[in-house]
């Protein structure tokens, strides 16, 4: 039974504001989607690492489900790391990382990575981060990451959370999908005090081509309410 407190709304990275139950349930749903992919890829349940775990919306459920032997929760934000280590069970370890792509993990040691809504904000060093995931994954291990891709932009409606920030950005234009196809990636930057402040748009063909040189890339079929593309990157 989950007996940990919930983080206050300010520590939830904008997920569900003060709506406690929706916040908690959303993490449980994500955790089960990840486990379904891990099962589908036949990955052993030894080491799970969440990159950009924030205050543990998802990893808290793995901890209570005892889903893996080890659960690691990395984030840039020290406040999140402290929250995780203070309030989540002891089978989760929060560790701060920097924006330089390096993690204090051994080669070939991770079975499953998750990075939900993280590569959507990594404006530089994206490929170096992917190389770091690849270095640390065991052969056959998977990284489940989300990206805002051309597939999402084609379906975007005014109800989506990204609609206002994307279409209101000075870089946005009516031909952005065509431009994205040519460039592969476009970064929408914002002035802000957070440790990350951009939205990264990526063309699905760029992911298949360039990310595909490091991993076997699978695109998970869209589920209801998806606003980002879920990718499974398997180390050969
Ligand atoms: C939009 S939140 C998503 C939080 C969490 N993945 C979830 O789904 O609830 C993005 C998180 O990623 C973290 N982040 C952004 N870039 C990062 C990086 N390069 N390494 C680690 N964490 C990062 C931010 O500090 C923030 O906590």
Do residue 73 and residue 165 come from a single domain?
no
Task: Please compute the mean of the pLDDT values over residues 174-187 and round it to a whole number.
Answer: 97
CB 68 within 8 A of CB 48: yes
* Ligand 1, CB cutoff 6 Å, lining residues: 13, 15, 51-54, 57-58, 74-77, 80, 97, 99, 116-118, 121-122, 195-196
Do residue 232 and residue 156 come from a single domain?
yes
| Domain tally, the chain | 2
Domain endpoint, select from 49, 75, 97:
97
Do residue 91 and residue 114 come from a single domain?
no
Instruction: Determine the straight-line distance between the first and last CA of the chain, rounded to whole angstroms.
Output: 37
Do residue 131 and residue 197 come from a single domain?
yes
Determine the atom of ligand 1 nearest the C-alpha atom of 74.
Answer: 21
Structural domain range at position 210 = 105-236
Ligand 1 pocket test target in 24, 75, 115, 228 with most atoms within 8 Å of CB: 75
Burial 16-29 (b: 16+ CB within 10 A, else e): beeeeeebbebbbe
CB 46 within 8 A of CB 64: no
- Tens-place pLDDT, residues 43-95: 999 999 999 999 999 999 999 999 999 999 999 999 999 999 999 999 999 99
- Strand 185-189 and strand 229-234: pairing? unpaired
Domain endpoint, select from 39, 63, 97:
97
Do residue 122 and residue 19 come from a single domain?
no
Cα dihedral sign, 44-45-50-53: positive
Do residue 60 and residue 143 come from a single domain?
no
Q: Which of 104-108, 132-136, 192-196 has the lowest mean pLDDT?
A: 192-196
- Tens-place pLDDT, residues 118-173: 999 999 999 999 999 999 999 999 999 999 999 999 999 999 989 999 999 999 99
Domain endpoint, select from 48, 77, 97:
97
Determine the atom of ligand 1 nearest the C-alpha atom of 115.
Answer: 6
Longest dimension (CA), the chain: 50
For the record, the structure tokens of 211 come out as 């990310």
Q: What is the mean pLDDT of the chain?
A: 96
CATH number for position 126: 3.40.50.150
Do residue 64 and residue 18 come from a single domain?
yes
Q: How far is the CA of 147 from the centre of ligand 1 (A)?
A: 13
- 114 vs 130: CA distance, rounded Å: 12
- 187: exposed, middle or buried (Cβ count in 10 Å: 0-12, 13-18, 19+): middle
Do residue 93 and residue 136 come from a single domain?
no
Do residue 150 and residue 235 come from a single domain?
yes
């Amino acid at each position: 039974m989950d007996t940990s407190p919930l983080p206050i709304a300010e520590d939830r990275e904008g997920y569900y504001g003060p709506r406690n139950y929706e916040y908690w349930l959303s993490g449980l749903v994500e955790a089960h989607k990840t486990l379904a992919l891990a099962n589908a890829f036949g990955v052993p349940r030894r080491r799970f690492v969440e990159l950009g775990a924030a205050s543990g919306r998802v990893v808290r459920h793995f901890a209570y489900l005892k889903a893996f032997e080890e659960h690691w929760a990395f984030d840039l934000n020290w406040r999140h790391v402290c929250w995780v280590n203070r309030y989540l069970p002891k089978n989760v370890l929060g560790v701060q990382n920097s924006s330089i792509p390096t993690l204090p993990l051994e080669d070939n040691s991770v079975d499953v990575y998750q990075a939900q809504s993280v590569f959507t904000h990594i404006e530089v060093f994206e490929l170096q981060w992917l190389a770091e995931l690849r270095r640390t994954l065991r052969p056959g291990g998977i990284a489940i990451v989300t990206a805002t891709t051309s597939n999402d932009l084609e379906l975007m409606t005014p109800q989506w959370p990204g609609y206002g920030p994307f279409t209101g950005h000075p870089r946005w234009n009516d031909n952005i999908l065509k431009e994205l196809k040519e460039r592969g990636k476009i970064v929408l930057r914002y002035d802000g005090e957070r440790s990350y402040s951009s939205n990264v748009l990526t063309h699905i063909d760029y992911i298949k081509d360039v990310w595909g040189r490091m991993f076997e890339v699978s695109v998970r079929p869209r589920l209801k309410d998806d606003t980002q593309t879920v990718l499974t990157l398997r180390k050969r």
